[in-house]
Structure 1
């Protein structure tokens, strides 16, 4: 395959999911259009309910992402310092959120001007990779971005043996790229790592956590919009009156002058003789009668919202207290943790899925720093914070009991409490920890 053919294939792969990414982004931002509306209703409502959205998709993503926190690595003492220097303690969370939302996110590893590892988190909207069907190794990758001020599209083609920079003299270009620079790749592998969120072995793209939620969220927003419309028009008790005369007032133009008819007479309109803000309704007529219509019962909408929220909780594994469904009796701490068990299990599965990618990032960082072959770097393991929501006191109590029983060494016990390798070394240097035989 020539370089032009490879470039064309990667650009096509980069462009293919962009429409799906835009749709997922609208749901994540709570800006999706209302669904389940008839054409007549859409015409009548216009954009009146454009902001009526319960942003469950963002909650589903962030509830998982906040449980994906990397606390350290084993196998290389200096790796965590490079991790912090590249702000990956912050940006790794961005990579997780994008992978959970879009299905994919990317990390590029290279060297800065001092020869140190330089790691950047990249969006799936700008980066795509090509994998070997047999070994499933990344054989090529591309990053494309636009300079709208200069009307230029930039691209970088990553290959195991070289890295090529290209430009095209238009914004949003898919063809017409010209190579402007090429350097050799001493790593021998493509320095682009894909964080893929998927339950399948095969597939070109990852799966979004909110794909299954989209129709349910549409139904929830429709029920909420219907409830708001009903509340506006028939939610308040409406009053009626008979046997009273309506009053008239002239119709005024934009300048405040009376509008005249063909005969030169002011155009009049009838109005309610009892203004809406009056606390009492008074009429001199003995035939006047007043009354009030019953307000609409909104309990049907509440039942609809509860049914839909039940389906949302089943699909997303979000517990009831995450989506605002509470019982009369507050749940205990143990009950809340039990309710989060399924969400915790899903987060642990994502830790396993993303952990392999982060370990590959770590190998590339070591290879850049030490000039080693990344394929020959072993024993790098990523450490995650506990996905369960236990308090610090509960976690410390459990670890201390295991340590006192001699089942855990001190260093491992400190790691279970969330301390990094560097922090453990500082703790042991400052206060020698007694090892239990």
Structure 2
């Protein structure tokens, strides 16, 4: 890749990032619960505007977090020895804090259709390569012409640090990568200047995409984008519910044929309120404020009197808010069905369920998580291969071991494991099935079991020696 090719790719990559920026911002807003307000007529008052503001509910954030919280990598396994796997786990996974950072990539994958991990050699310690999440906002990966699932080249563009996520941040630095070289550009004024060009030590594009849904042409699809209309509908009905609760949830008193304005007995014109200096008082609209007679305030021991022969007093019934609540619940259930999130996660209502009933209620979520693990697991294999190359090793096929995030009955799980072990199933494999078990925990448990067995053997030997010493000789006289 010479400078001319790098500049051509720079132009293409920056244009692609600029094109995807509006959609990225919209999806991020909905994920964070900071999306647009529900529809309302123009010119609404402050009181209506406040209700409109609080009518938003971050349902899509919960939809995103529900499967992501079930995704957790607990270890890696390769064709090498267990000690080699432990060393790679410590130098790659633990050294880069991926226990917590892995969820950044999962969240981006669900929200934006793709998350990105970047891999690069560590000049300070070659054995511990740099593996970190990258924002898909600033990464564009161009696929090969004959294979949309293989990366041809990529651009990483970023601007000034410290800006908020919703603020525009024009790129000031851009790096172009392909399998042979990387070229770093710096924007000075309106011109991009090459500041560095060197050989790519990985011999690969250093980015790996994580996508829960990709088609045959390599296009990624956001999981929350199809849910945005449902989120908008919920917000609109919630706004209607709050309006009804504020203005129509109680009986409305109606009085007809009664004029509370005090009028001049001679002219019949309204009489106006005045201040201490005799000036007519004006309201917020600049109109004079009339004098008004009050019939009294309602109360148990109070009497309200309305003058006038044609005065009628009646009331209107309150609105039934349960109709609004029913519509909201139906919309949320629709959202749950489309997103494969169990309705009880969004609405509640389930209690004291057996293990079988709980597993059945979460079957759709379990299927979604299993599908995501399959897709993300293949991406993690590429990440670990790149990490091995960055550490100076050859490519090594490896797989990640996913933690069990499915809700299960602990007692039933333990009972099943005991039955398996009783018919010859490996103990270590059985321990891996325990909820919350990780490879590190299983290895520690196996070590503890070995130590306890050794201790039992030693105690048995000591007791055997004591018993032998206490036994009397057959010939006490020594003959």
Would you say 1:416 and 2:429 are equivalent positions? no
Equivalent of 1:430 in 448, 451, 458:
448
Q: What is the correspondence of 1:23-422 to structure 2 with a 5 Å cutoff?
A: 23-35=26-38, 37=39, 41-44=41-44, 47-48=49-50, 49-75=52-78, 76-82=85-91, 83-112=93-122, 113-115=124-126, 116-135=128-147, 136-147=149-160, 153-169=172-188, 176-204=191-219, 206-241=220-255, 246=260, 251=273, 259=280, 267-271=288-292, 273=294, 280-283=301-304, 291-324=314-347, 326=349, 331-369=353-391, 371-374=392-395, 377-378=396-397, 380-407=398-425, 409-417=426-434, 418-422=436-440
Q: Closer, same or farther in 2 for the Cα pair 1:200/1:269, shift >3 Å?
A: same
Is the Cα–Cα contact under 8 Å of residues 120 and 202 in structure 2 kept in the other structure?
A: no
Superposition deviation, residue 351 in structure 1? 0.5
Superposition deviation, residue 13 in structure 1? 2.4
Superposition deviation, residue 30 in structure 1? 1.8
In structure 1, the residue corresponding to 2:43 is in which secondary structure?
A: helix
Q: Closer, same or farther in 2 for the Cα pair 1:332/1:244, shift >3 Å?
A: farther
Q: Distance in 1 between matches of 2:296 and 2:137?
A: 57
Is the Cα–Cα contact under 8 Å of residues 355 and 408 in structure 2 kept in the other structure?
A: no
Is the Cα–Cα contact under 8 Å of residues 146 and 152 in structure 1 kept in the other structure?
A: yes
Number of aligned residue pairs:
415
Superposition deviation, residue 240 in structure 1? 3.5
Q: Closer, same or farther in 2 for the Cα pair 1:272/1:300, shift >3 Å?
A: farther
In structure 2, the residue corresponding to 1:44 is in which secondary structure?
A: coil
Superposition deviation, residue 51 in structure 1? 3.3
In structure 2, the residue corresponding to 1:382 is in which secondary structure?
A: strand
Superposition deviation, residue 424 in structure 1? 3.0
2:462 corresponding residue in structure 1: none
Superposition deviation, residue 47 in structure 1? 4.0
**TM-score normalized with structure 1 length:** 0.84
Of structures 1 and 2, the larger Rg is shown by 2
Is the Cα–Cα contact under 8 Å of residues 281 and 289 in structure 2 kept in the other structure?
A: no
In structure 2, the residue corresponding to 1:235 is in which secondary structure?
A: coil
Q: Distance in 2 between matches of 1:397 and 1:98?
A: 38
In structure 2, the residue corresponding to 1:424 is in which secondary structure?
A: helix
Is the Cα–Cα contact under 8 Å of residues 151 and 169 in structure 1 kept in the other structure?
A: no
Write the deviation string for residues 347-379 of structure 1: whole angstroms up to 9, x where unpaired.
Answer: 11001011111111111222222x1233xx22x
Q: Closer, same or farther in 2 for the Cα pair 1:267/1:211, shift >3 Å?
A: closer
Superposition deviation, residue 147 in structure 1? 1.7
Q: Closer, same or farther in 2 for the Cα pair 1:335/1:152, shift >3 Å?
A: closer
Is the Cα–Cα contact under 8 Å of residues 80 and 422 in structure 1 kept in the other structure?
A: no
Is the Cα–Cα contact under 8 Å of residues 158 and 170 in structure 2 kept in the other structure?
A: no
Is the Cα–Cα contact under 8 Å of residues 65 and 96 in structure 1 kept in the other structure?
A: yes
Identify the range of structure 1 (358-367 vs 240-249) with the bigger mean alpha-carbon deviation: 240-249
Is the Cα–Cα contact under 8 Å of residues 358 and 382 in structure 1 kept in the other structure?
A: yes
Is the Cα–Cα contact under 8 Å of residues 188 and 373 in structure 1 kept in the other structure?
A: no
Larger relative contact order (CA 8 Å, sep ≥ 6):
1
Unaligned runs of 5+ in 2: 79-84, 163-168, 263-270, 454-479
Identify the range of structure 1 (425-434 vs 94-103) with the bigger mean alpha-carbon deviation: 425-434
Q: Distance in 1 between matches of 2:405 and 2:341?
A: 14
Q: Closer, same or farther in 2 for the Cα pair 1:260/1:343, shift >3 Å?
A: closer
Superposition deviation, residue 188 in structure 1? 1.2
**TM-score normalized with structure 2 length:** 0.78
Superposition deviation, residue 58 in structure 1? 0.7
Identify the range of structure 1 (89-98 vs 230-239) with the bigger mean alpha-carbon deviation: 230-239
Superposition deviation, residue 345 in structure 1? 0.1
Is the Cα–Cα contact under 8 Å of residues 243 and 285 in structure 1 kept in the other structure?
A: no
In structure 2, the residue corresponding to 1:97 is in which secondary structure?
A: helix
Write the deviation string for residues 201-221 of structure 1: whole angstroms up to 9, x where unpaired.
Answer: 2234x2111112111111111
Unaligned runs of 5+ in 1: none
Write the deviation string for residues 126-149 of structure 1: whole angstroms up to 9, x where unpaired.
Answer: 111112132432121121111279
Q: Closer, same or farther in 2 for the Cα pair 1:424/1:284, shift >3 Å?
A: closer
Is the Cα–Cα contact under 8 Å of residues 210 and 376 in structure 2 kept in the other structure?
A: yes
2:166 corresponding residue in structure 1: none
Is the Cα–Cα contact under 8 Å of residues 244 and 283 in structure 1 kept in the other structure?
A: no
In structure 1, the residue corresponding to 2:191 is in which secondary structure?
A: coil
In structure 2, the residue corresponding to 1:16 is in which secondary structure?
A: helix
